[in-house]
Amino acid sequence: MTIEIAIYGAGGFARETAWLVEEISAVSGGYKVVCFIDDDKQNQGKELNGYPVVSLEEATDRFPDARVVGGVGSPHTRESIMLKAAAAGFGTTTLIHPRVERSKLIEIGEGAVICAGSILAVNVEIHRYVQINLDCTIGHDAKLGDFTSLAPGVHVSGWVITGKRVYIGTGAVITNGTKDKPLFIGDDAVIGAGAVVIGDVAEGVTVVGVPARPISHRKTSE
């Protein structure tokens, strides 16, 4: 049975997600992109890379059996749109590119998207709606919280734990913690592109640089 995929979002990562689905289908079949969903009325009714762009309401009418996958990089936006999709009655699915290397000792939550070239080591936990972009590595005993986003080329070392809605920018490196003291990145934290994180990052804090240092703090109630 072919699973229909509706990608919520119509930007760059949404288009990359459609490509990911095409790559999965070329190897093993079972998936077919049917549309992009966009809340922006100016984009609705158009085509994007050969697929229609529709509203959530139209997707409900035309593709009621589709699984919706989040195609937005922002953790907060992705959380919001996936809650809307669930409220509209849509389920989701997990997408893993055929060129992802992973051990058998991994837990992957619903709605996760894992892109080509990524490597996941042993005893890793990928929670719900996590997004792992191209060419990332996840070390042993790492845990990525719900809606965490990894931009391309991120390296997460062993014994690292992220909270929910963490964003880790392109090329960032998170150095390892230990079994007795994992390195922890709190909810809603942002790690800047190219940063090297060598210690815990508090909830809602943005860090940049080598080594990474705080530059701002997000109000988590926003």
The answer on pLDDT for 221 being more than 80 is no
Q: Tokens 């893993």 label which residue?
A: 96
Write down all domains in the chain, each with its CATH number in brackets. 3-93 (3.40.50.20), 96-213 (2.160.10.10)
Pairing of strands 51-54, 31-37: parallel
pLDDT for 28: 87
114-137 burial, b at 16+ Cβ within 10 Å, e below that, comes to bbbbbebbeebbbbbbbbbbbbbb
pLDDT for 1: 81
CB 51 within 8 A of CB 23: no
Structure-block tokens of residue 105: 């000792």
* Rg from Cα positions in the chain: 17
The answer on pLDDT for 222 being more than 50 is no
Structure-block tokens of residue 118: 């990524």
Q: Which one-letter DSSP state was computed for residue 104?
A: S
Percent of the chain with pLDDT over 90: 95
The mean per-residue pLDDT over the stretch 121-129 comes to 98
Q: What is the pLDDT of residues 147-200, one digit of tens each?
A: 999 999 999 999 999 999 999 999 999 999 999 999 999 999 999 999 999 999
- List all residues 6 or more positions away from 102 whose beta carbon is below 8 Å from its beta carbon: 96, 119, 120, 124
pLDDT for 216: 72
pLDDT for 219: 61
Predicted confidence band at 218 (pLDDT cuts at 50, 70, 90)? low
Q: What is the pLDDT of residues 12-63, one digit of tens each?
A: 999 999 999 999 999 988 999 999 999 999 999 999 999 999 999 999 999 9
